[in-house]
A and B are shown apart, each in its own frame.
Chain A
Amino acid sequence: MRSKFKTEYMGRTVVTVVGLMIIAITLLITVFLVQKGAQTFTVLKYSVSQFFTDTKWDPFMSADDPKGSVGALTFIIGSIYVSFLALLFATPFAVACAIFITEISPKYGKKMLQPAVEIFVGIPSVVYGWLGFSVLCPFIAKIFNMPFGGEGLLSAAIVLSVMIFPTITTVAIDSIRNVPSEYKQASYGLGATRLQMIWHTSLPAAKQGILTGIVLGLARAFGEALAVSMVIGNKITIPKNILSRTSTLTTIIANQMGSAPDGTGMADSIWSMGLLLFVISFLFILMIRIIGKEREDKGAEK
């Protein structure tokens, strides 16, 4: 009796402590990021509007010369362009692939295609970056006749789309599989063809799940630094067209962190961009939550 009480009590204590620690660490990171990220504006007195609307990125790098500007618009736009382009490329393939695996050829899909897709998830991003740099970029350079190499927005978006494709596909597969078979039976029973069943019954019923997958993919695209940095060209200008070299919030942090001593405009503005990325990922999670909640509400009506 007593020993059971003891182990149970101890187990519960350990779990509670660990739980509290995780909450504490998360809170600490948030507070730290907010405090550091705000210094650009509170200590160095740059204006918030400059950060969000100016394209001039020239923060001072040594404390002797406290001047310069911290306009991050280029990176914000770079991030948005490259992520949404990647999404645009990946989503149709991912949804089509999920449909194929679940509805068209479940046997072949489950045995061959799904494992293949899952392997893609585990490949380290540096490998994607290297493949992009050494295979895709020369190819793009050749097609579009770019004498200085094919690095740029398009290459980065393609590499990213390959990286987020498995994320969207796996989530979409799960949500299409979870569509109740009664709906499919009803649809076939009314004389629908297989394509009609997929288009008018399966997909609408799986809509929320597929949307969740898309947002997850978008979040991954926004957060990826290494692979993007290897193929995007890393020029600090707003892209003029789809082939332009540019930078994103993540690539500029990765590329500039070495030259950012503490207390300089460079360091603090990097913190601010880190904070911005944190806020964006928080918004993505919020979106996923809201989509999930809608699905729950719908389910509850039954």
Chain B
Amino acid sequence: MSCKLLVENLNLYYSDIQALKDINMGIDEKKITALIGPSGCGKSTFLKTINRMNDLIPGVRITGKMTLDGEDIYSSSNDVTLLRKRVGMVFQKPNPFPVSIYDNIAYGPRRHGLKNKGRLDEIVEKSLKDSAMWDEVKDKLKKSALSLSGGQQQRLCIARALAVEPEVILLDEPTSALDPISTFKIEDLMQTLKETYTVIIVTHNMQQATRVADKTAFFLLGDLIEYDETEVIFTNPQNPKTLEYVSGHFG
């Protein structure tokens, strides 16, 4: 088993506030890794360092090293747009563009230069099939994405991310705005996604982490406290703080 993503001595500062402190971890290929921890501990921040979405925030400073398949993500020669094509992201709040379902999925491939209509059709169909919503929407591809339900919108966003053929998929609390049935569908989907992709998910829901994740990382105030097999984290954690958190006694 190989590490897709390697993080070494990673520090991140928002101006003078340090949000990530000396993080070291390796993320396995074609597995699901969950990031848990109380609000404000740096989970989203960590996730956004992986596809360099932090570049968009003024005043962010990063030290240390992060490599994807051995390539330094933050080296100046690394093309950010190419990185984001390889590392797709799904956000907490479903955020489809206010255009048709088809155009949402085709957005990424088009930006990367694909114009061929037949090829685009194929990608749209494949992405929707991979995100298990082809049957629901195949007759209304030209309809506005905003006409879908919240759960459908979120799966559309996953499909949209798949359309650029990424290798890693980052999910930031993808189900926190959804009902239990939609949540279940997305968890189900993740199990099929990990056959092809490396998946990293931020969640506040402990049950969700135990249900879907192979490995779990516990963050606290910018520190990575413990990182291990999900089962170990939830049943036999080595650090008392982890135990406190996963058993719900966290104050």
Contact = CB atoms under 8 A, between A and B. Distances in A.
Interface in A22-58: none
A186 B91 contact: yes
Contacts of B89: 189
B232 interface: no
A214 to B, nearest CB: 20
A205 interface: yes
A192 B161 CA distance: 12
A189 B146 contact: no
A196 B88 contact: no
A201 B144 CA distance: 15
B140 interface: no
B17 interface: no
Contacts of A193: 81, 111
A191 B108 CA distance: 7
Interface string B91-127: 1010111110000000110111000000000000000
B157 interface: yes
A200 interface: yes
A186 B111 contact: no
Given A183-B97, A301-B146, A189 B84 contact: yes
B164 interface: yes
Contacts, number: 68
Contacts of B157: 186
A298 B85 CA distance: 30
Given A191-B82, A191-B111, A183 B95 contact: yes
B147 interface: yes
A190 B88 contact: yes
10 contacts: A187-B111, A190-B84, A190-B107, A190-B161, A191-B82, A192-B81, A192-B111, A193-B81, A201-B97, A301-B98
Contacts of A302: 146
A192 B160 CA distance: 13
Interface string A176-201: 00001011011111111100100011
B175 interface: no
Most buried by B among A188, A193, A302: A188
Contact of B111 (A180, A196, A205): A196
What are the 4 tightest A-B residue pairs by CB atom distance, in nearest-first order?
A182-B95, A191-B84, A190-B108, A191-B85
A302 B97 CA distance: 11
A256 to B, nearest CB: 50
Interface string A260-302: 0000000000000000000000000000000000000010011
Contacts of B95: 180, 182-183, 185-186
A189 B111 contact: no
Contacts of B91: 182, 185-186, 189
B56 A190 contact: no
Nearest to A201: B97
Nearest to B95: A182
Contacts of B83: 191
A298 B82 contact: no
Contacts of A201: 97
A185 B97 contact: no
Given A183-B95, A298-B98, A301-B147, A188 B111 contact: no
Given A201-B97, A298-B146, 17 more contacts: A183-B97, A186-B160, A187-B107, A188-B53, A188-B84, A189-B84, A189-B88, A190-B88, A191-B84, A191-B85, A191-B164, A192-B111, A200-B107, A200-B111, A205-B98, A301-B98, A301-B146
Interface string B131-165: 00000000000001011000000000100110010
Contacts of A191: 81-85, 108, 111-112, 164
B46 to A, nearest CB: 16
Most buried by A among B82, B97, B161: B97
B203 interface: no
A161 B107 CA distance: 35
Contacts of A192: 81, 107-108, 111
B51 interface: yes
A180 B84 CA distance: 20
Nearest to B81: A191
B97 A186 contact: yes
A185 B107 CA distance: 13
Nearest to A190: B108
Nearest to B144: A301
B142 to A, nearest CB: 15
A201 B99 CA distance: 10
Contacts of B108: 190-192
Nearest to B56: A188
